[in-house]
Amino acid sequence: MKKYNLKNRSEIADRDKWNLEAMYPDETKWEEDLSTALKASDEFILLKGSLTESAENLLKALCLYSDMMRKAENAFVYSRMRHDEDNANTKSTEMNNKSLSTLAQISANVSFFTPELLEADEALIKGYIEELPALKEFSFMLDSIMLSKPHVLSSDEERVIAQLNESASAPDEIFTMFNDADLSFGKVTNEDAIDVELTHGNYIQFMESENREVRKNAFEAMYRRYKEFNNSISVMYNYSVKHDSIMSKLRKYKSTLDSELSGERIPLSVYDNLIDAVHKNLPSMHKYMEIRKRALGLNELRMYDIYRPIVKPEGLECSYEDAVDIACKALAPLGEDYVRTLRKGLTEDRWVDIYENAGKTSGAYSFGSYDSNPYILMNFSGELRDVFTLIHESGHSMHSYYTRRTQPFVYGGHSIFTAEVASTVNETLLIHYLLRNAESIDMKKYLINFYIDEFKSTLFRQTMFAEFEKIAHETVENGGSLTAQYLNEEYDKLNTIYYGPSIEHDEYIQYEWSRIPHFYRAYYVYQYATGYSAANAIANRILTGGEAERNDYLKFLATGESDYPIELLKIAGVDMSTEEPVLSALSTFANLVNELDEMI
């Protein structure tokens, strides 16, 4: 492990920071956008009661709504990214809070729109679309709104709910501030006998250390802190799930899962089939754990041993510049335009905030507004795995890039169900590129092991998270409460089932659930697993196909939210309403495990 010194934000060179000034060179314009959007929402209220009196009225409302939300989104995204640069920065926190408060007010002001629209006969709305060609741009948006007709409340009730939105996000906001700004894990002695501050950003480096004592100390230091706050975090999560449950009941859904999936016409069977398919294939995961135990020469395999590479060849460190070069070469099958655009964004246009600094939000993401660059937050540490993170987030960003230059604002976003496909196609192309160019047997072993671990982390672990989420929500929906003890026990049981008998039980792993921020977005994580499965199918289609297969995928990248996710993925050649993509991915995993077994 290299020496790790955490810098303050001011010590990071400008060339290594994302160029947010491109959004607002003068922050008075940020204030103006928030103010303009809020005033537009006041104007929008004047349309109440007349939305569906004519095609012209409907078009006026939709255009005003689109323009207003476009400005509000741009202002919010800017303040959120400024906040994520340093969660302890008071000015950025105040700006972000102001954006959230303004969005809540706007949401309250426009809350009558959907209920009033749904009071109209669907045939009338379709007639307006035929009558006024300009309305055709909004036809899918209107269709998807009509889909929610049984679940929308009266305009007064919707306004009350909208006014409560800001406080409803409290568990998530509190957890984020606690996890990224307040929580510290102390120092851990690395293999060079140097005391290093343990952070979210460098935790995985400790877990990959060849020194088992270093891994153990980092693992226990991390979870010891979460154990200290176990009761408080369980209360945060309990109320987050309670809110999900209350909202799904108010809107007359069968469950929170139903409410999260039905809006995009994703069958409930997709969720259950994912869990069932993974359970049936757990023997391959258990076999991998046994291989890992044998390869590492351990009498007992512990949870802090499952991230250390089985073999660690030379040449695993790389600079950010090297990472960009590798990514661009790996993505060559996607064509010159894709690669040229991405390289320019990652370098000249400064889409990326590259390195970790004190107070910076942990992990990585792709973000941006319809009118901004598709920015990327990284905590780059100079390891090969950072190339995978960069190419993953680049997939999201290029998805946004192609969508925003093709689709209008109302379709400029992405369902998580489709978004995770774009990122994982990139990762899959990268691993194939690296395997083709491996210069030694040890490097090939390392890469196959790495590929298996990607399956472990994304398909198996995220499905385990999805099952935990389902247990938590069903418990609350059946009148139960999520106590710390209950959450710990349920998570511990799942961890034992998924990783199998080769792993020795560890008391600290029961607290792992408490550090997962995605749990504060109901039924979010399963889409990583489904997306990973779809992406493997698409990447294989691109690599074994030709120009037509590549163009199918690029066409998919430009669709945004212009149709339901299952239908959009069919454009890229994958039908996620069937089990085939998940089963195919699990088959690939099993083959990789067998290949690694033979090589070891």
**Alpha helices (H) in 437-525, listed in sequence order:** 441-455, 461-477, 484-499
Contact 562, 140 (CB under 8 A): yes
Question: DSSP letters along 427-455, please?
Answer: HHHHHHHHHHT--SHHHHHHHHHHHHHHH
For residue 470, the one-letter residue type is: K
Q: For the chain, what is the radius of gyration of the CA atoms? A: 24
Query: Residue 179: which H helix or E strand, with range?
Result: none
**Could you confirm whether 580 is annotated as catalytic?**
no
Non-local CB neighbours of 164 within 8 Å, separated by 6+ positions? none
Buried b (16+ CB within 10 A) or exposed e, 163-200: beebebbebbbbbbeebbbebebeebebeeeeebebbb
Token pair in block for residue 396: 């999201």
Give phi and psi for 38, each to the nearest 5: -65, -40
In which order are the strands placed within the sheet that holds 352-353? 352-353, 375-377, 365-367
Q: Which listed residue (73, 137, 393, 454) is catalytic?
A: 393
For residues 417 and 527, is the Cβ–Cβ distance under 8 A?
yes
Q: Which has the closest alpha carbon to 144: 447, 450, 535, 560? A: 560
Which tokens sit at 330? 């790996």
- Contacts for 505 with CB less than 8 Å, ≥ 6 apart: 496
CA gap 458, 501 in Å, rounded: 21
d(CA 462, CA 214): 26
Long-range contacts of 567-570 (CB under 8 A, 24+ apart): 568/418, 569/418, 569/421, 569/534
Return the amino acid letter for 190. Answer: N
Question: What is the rounded distance in angstroms from the CA atom of residue 447 to the CA atom of residue 450?
Answer: 5
Calpha distance 582→536 (Å, rounded):
9
Active site residues per annotation: 393
